[in-house]
Amino acid sequence: MTRIGIIIGSTRPGRNGAAVGQWVYEVAQQRTDAEFELVDLLDYKLPHLDEVYPPSMGQYQQTHTLEWASKIASFDGFIIVT
């Protein structure tokens, strides 16, 4: 079955993205043609530009980047809540 990640993209204090992401997830759960998972970017401590190679090369070295890449690779598509 198709897997879709609903990514909460904001990590700012006081953000509204978590509530909106939860709402999108609840609406998406009514569908039967795909599986949906809510993914909060705040749960992945990703420092800005701390990898040696560009992301397009897929040659990650940092543990946090490898964990994020593994999570993202598990999906067939994305909904990004910004």
Q: What is the CATH number of the domain that holds 50?
A: 3.40.50.360
pLDDT at 48: 87
Q: For the chain, what percent of residues have pLDDT higher than 70?
A: 100
Higher pLDDT, 55 or 71: 71
The residue range of the domain holding 32 is 2-81
Domain count, the chain: 1
pTM metric for this prediction: 0.90
- Residue 17: Cβ-neighbour burial (10 angstroms; 0-12, 13-18, 19+): buried
What is d(CA 67, CA 63) in angstroms, rounded to the nearest whole number? 6
- Over residues 8-29, mean pLDDT: 96
* Ramachandran sector of residue 80 (left: φ over 0; alpha: ψ -120 to 50; beta: rest): beta
